[in-house]
């Protein structure tokens, strides 16, 4: 079981309190009627699914109930960083630094 | 390769079985092949077998990063059934079931296919309605499936607890009598043995690290841990690692990879006559011919390539198993393990051409690919040989996520399966 740090509660809590909510930073456009089929497919179905560093959303359902983002390695399952929803996507250099 | 038959068995018995020889060759990779299959699991080896047998293409390499049958083929709970809701799925899985029934004879290799019946339990009104909808749809598609009352379910599987005081009361069950189990390792070995005999090179410990493309974007071969290997047609059959491989050719997939766990108990005398599944609590159980209870659990909720899963998933499954079968509550579990499953948004597989000419993909089997092994391999071989899908897998294309024509078994079952 994972031990997950909630950036809102400021505490390490067991995975059972959380729900994974898929890939982070998927932007739903304001004008969905104007999307092409290819854009809709990319937004709705295509997923990064990396073997390595993954940016993902979690929700602290059995705690504060809020969504946040995390950087996690999908081979070791280790969390590298958690950050609040709305904060910008971490840059590649920052992720490389976290991996050291 | 020596055939398994009564005369050879008698002859070998007289010389202490020292003359059987290797069951498949272990060749060095050549520079060029007609077709490369990436992944030597059941689906990949089967694809090579049907390419050689039905389409006359024998200059094939099957590349495997680990050992033959060491991925999800050797990690599943071996359940075989075909009672899916939609027409496309019924066609594909029933094609597989038809092939399973003669597979041991066809391969001259005992895959221990046992049609002991697969019973899917209903625990609430929604389950009952969903199961009956499946049964009616199945019957229209010529797929056997029948409704059992709780007492009929108990008669078919005596260890089942049908008490109304159970945490998961049994309100009935759907039974597919043609379903059952097979020996998963033997499926990979049987296909490998026949494919190798027809000239297919099975190359183990040979991880693919890149997919090469020509000036027109078409596939020209692959880079591997053992050098460059050329082929104009490449079929990717790599289960949980499909996204990683397809990325090498610049194709992004609608897949997510999760750990799925299974476990076996200590072996006991035969006590459990069939396969029982419960979608609502996500538990599967059957008894292997060795006597172990084989139990399938659920997936973790997050992406991972770790090939292990969380303990609380196993605990949830075992809680349910013990409620359903109280007689197992003192049994010891011997081993647990995990495999990485590639899950599509509609929980149906992808057997398809891709935007890259010469590149084909067979993936997205999620938590239930073993049952389809012969059917999947058979139609995927057709897709590669003819450069167009078989009518059976035409609907399972990659384009469906763009044009919206999904085969939404996810919504039909309300769980991954």
Nearest to B303 among A16, A37, A74 (CB): A74
* A22-45: pLDDT as tens digits: 999 999 999 999 999 999 999 999
With 70 as the cut, is the pLDDT of residue A53 above it? yes
Test A49 with B253 for CB contact under 8 angstroms: yes
What whole-number distance in Å separates Cα of residue B382 and Cα of residue B369? 19
d(Cα B54, Cα B46) in Å, to the nearest integer?
12
Which pLDDT value is given to residue B281? Answer: 78
Q: What is the mean pLDDT of residues B404-415?
A: 78
Reported confidence tier of residue B91, pLDDT bands at 50, 70, 90:
very high
Q: How far apart are CA B19 and CA B2, in angstroms?
A: 9
- Chain A / chain B CB contacts < 8 angstroms: 68
How far B242 CA lies from chain A's nearest CA (Å)?
10
In this predicted structure, what is the pLDDT of residue B1? 83
Structure-block tokens of residue B95: 């094609």
Considering only CA atoms, which of B322, B343, B325 is closest in space to residue B416?
B343
Percent of chain B with pLDDT over 90: 94
Residues of A with CB under 8 A from a CB of B: 1-2, 15-16, 19-20, 22, 37-38, 40-42, 44-51, 54, 56, 72, 74-77
Contact B117, B236 (CB under 8 A): no
Kindly indicate the confidence band of residue A96, based on its pLDDT and cuts at 50, 70 and 90: very high
**Mean pLDDT calculated for residue range B374-389:** 98
Three-state DSSP class for residue B295: strand
Contact B128, B174 (CB under 8 A): no
Cβ of A74 within 8 Å of Cβ of B256? The answer is no
Instruction: List CB contacts (< 8 A) between A45 and chain B.
Output: 254, 345, 401
Give 3-state DSSP helix, strand, coil % of chain A, rounded to 5: 20, 35, 45
Q: In chain B, which residues have their Cβ closer than 8 Å to the Cβ of A3?
A: none
**Residue B417 in this model has a pLDDT that exceeds 80:** no
Residue B43 has pLDDT above 90, yes or no: yes
Name the residue among B244, B302, B345 with its Cβ closest to that of A56: B302
Per-residue pLDDT averaged across B65-75, rounded? Answer: 96
Q: What percent of chain B has pLDDT over 70?
A: 98
- Using the Cβ of B140 and the Cβ atoms of chain A, whether some distance falls under 8 Å is answered with no
Q: What is the per-residue burial (b if ≥16 Cβ within 10 Å, else e) of B363-373?
A: bbbbbbbbbbb
Convert the pLDDT of each residue in B291-326 to its tens digit.
Answer: 999 999 999 999 999 989 999 999 999 999 999 999
Averaged confidence pLDDT in chain B: 95
Residues 239-258 of B with CB under 8 A from A: 241, 243-244, 252-257
The pLDDT assigned to B324 comes to 92
pLDDT score for A5 = 98
A12/chain B closest Cα distance in angstroms: 17
Determine the pLDDT at residue B282. 78
Chain A CB contacts of B302 below 8 Å: 2, 20, 56, 72, 77
User: Are B255 and A15 within 8 A, CB to CB?
Assistant: no
pLDDT band at A58 (very low <50, low <70, confident <90, very high): very high
Question: Chain B partners of A47 at a C-beta cutoff of 8 Å?
Answer: 243, 253-256
| Backbone dihedral region for residue B383 (phi beyond 0: left; psi -120 to 50: alpha; all else: beta) | alpha
3-state secondary structure of B201: strand
What's the pLDDT at A61? 97
pLDDT of B4 strictly over 80: yes
Is B413's pLDDT higher than 90? no
Contact across the interface for A77 and B255, Cβ inside 8 Å: no
Q: Where are the domains of chain A?
A: 3-98
Bridge partner residues of B121 (DSSP): B173
Residues of A in contact with B254 (CB under 8 A): 41, 45-47
Run of H or E residues at B133 = helix B125-140
Check whether A20 has a pLDDT greater than 80: yes
Is the pTM higher than 0.90? The answer reads yes
Q: What are phi and psi of B277, to 5 degrees?
A: -125, 145
Residue B148: predicted pLDDT: 98
Say yes or no for a CB contact (<8 Å) between B302 and A2.
yes
Beta bridge partners of A73: A53
Strand boundaries in B177-279, DSSP class E:
180-181, 201-203, 208-213, 219-224, 227-230, 233-236, 256-265, 275-278
pLDDT score of B415 more than 80? no
In this structure, the dihedral spanned by the alpha carbons of residues A26, A27, A29 and A33, taken in order and rounded to 10 degrees, is 10
Nearest to A1 among B253, B254, B310 (CB): B310
Q: Which residues of B touch A19 (CB under 8 A)?
A: 301
Answer whether residue B56 shows pLDDT above 60.
Answer: yes
- Does domain A3-98 fall into CATH 1.10.630.10? no
Q: State the average pLDDT over residues B120-139.
A: 94
Chain A residues with CB inside 8 Å of B303's CB?
49-50, 54, 56, 74
Using DSSP's 3-state secondary structure scheme, residue B75 falls into coil
Q: Please name the member of B256, B301, B306 whose beta carbon is closest to the beta carbon of A47.
A: B256
- Confidence (pLDDT) at A100: 86
Judged against a pLDDT cut of 70, whether residue B414 lies above it is answered with no
B402 vs A15: CB contact, 8 Å cut-off?
no
pLDDT tens per residue across span B19-34:
999 999 999 999 999 9
Condensed to tens digits (0 to 9), the pLDDT of residues B261-281 reads 999 999 999 999 999 999 887
**Average pLDDT score over residue span A75-88:** 96
Contact (CB, 8 A) for B265 and B67: no
């Amino acid at each position: 079981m994972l031990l997950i740090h909630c950036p809102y509660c400021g505490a390490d809590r067991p995975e059972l309190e959380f729900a994974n909510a898929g890939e982070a930073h998927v932007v739903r456009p304001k004008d969905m009627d104007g999307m092409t089929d290819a854009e809709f497919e990319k937004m709705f179905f295509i997923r990064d699914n990396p073997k390595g560093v993954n940016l993902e959303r979690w929700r602290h359902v059995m705690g504060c109930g809020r969504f946040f983002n995390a950087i996690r390695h999908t081979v070791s399952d280790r969390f590298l960083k958690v950050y609040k929803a709305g904060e910008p996507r971490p840059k590649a250099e920052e992720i490389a630094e976290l991996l050291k | 390769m020596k055939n398994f038959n009564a005369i050879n068995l008698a002859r070998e018995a007289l010389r202490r079985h020292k003359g059987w020889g290797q069951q498949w060759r272990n060749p060095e990779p050549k520079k060029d092949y007609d077709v490369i299959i990436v992944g030597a699991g059941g689906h990949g080896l089967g694809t090579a077998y049907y390419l050689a047998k039905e389409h006359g293409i024998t200059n094939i390499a099957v590349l495997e990063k680990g050992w033959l049958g060491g991925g999800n083929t050797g990690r599943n709970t071996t359940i075989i059934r075909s009672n899916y809701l939609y027409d496309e799925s019924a066609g594909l899985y029933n094609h597989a079931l038809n092939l399973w029934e003669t597979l041991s004879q066809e391969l001259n290799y005992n895959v221990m296919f046992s049609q002991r019946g697969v019973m899917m339990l209903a625990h609430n009104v929604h389950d009952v309605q969903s199961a009956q909808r499946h049964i009616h749809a199945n019957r229209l598609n010529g797929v056997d499936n029948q409704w059992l009352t709780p007492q009929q379910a108990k008669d078919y599987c005596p260890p089942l607890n049908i008490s109304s005081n159970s945490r998961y009361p049994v309100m009935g069950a759907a039974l597919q009598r043609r379903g059952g189990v097979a020996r998963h390792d033997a499926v990979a070995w049987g296909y490998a043995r026949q494919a190798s005999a027809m000239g297919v090179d099975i190359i183990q410990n040979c991880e693919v690290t890149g997919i090469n493309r020509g000036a027109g974007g078409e596939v020209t071969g692959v880079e591997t841990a053992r050098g460059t290997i050329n082929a104009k047609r490449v079929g990717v059959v790599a289960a949980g690692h499909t996204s990683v491989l397809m990325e090498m050719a610049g194709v992004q997939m609608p897949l997510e990879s999760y750990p799925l766990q299974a476990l076996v108990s200590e072996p006991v005398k035969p006590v459990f006559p069939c396969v029982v599944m419960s979608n609502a609590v996500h538990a599967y159980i059957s008894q292997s011919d060795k006597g172990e209870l084989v139990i399938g659990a659920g997936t973790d909720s997050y992406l991972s390539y770790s090939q292990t899963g969380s303990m609380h998933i196993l605990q949830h499954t075992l809680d349910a198993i013990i409620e359903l079968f109280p007689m197992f509550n003192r049994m010891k579990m011997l081993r647990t393990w995990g495999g990485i499953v590639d899950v599509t948004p509609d929980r149906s597989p992808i057997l398809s051409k891709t935007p890259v000419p010469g590149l084909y993909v067979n993936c997205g089997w999620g938590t239930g690919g073993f049952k389809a092994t012969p059917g999947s391999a058979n139609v995927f071989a057709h897709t590669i040989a003819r450069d167009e899908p078989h009518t059976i897998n035409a609907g399972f294309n990659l384009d469906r996520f763009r044009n919206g024509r999904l085969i939404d078994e996810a919504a039909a079952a309300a769980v991954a399966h």
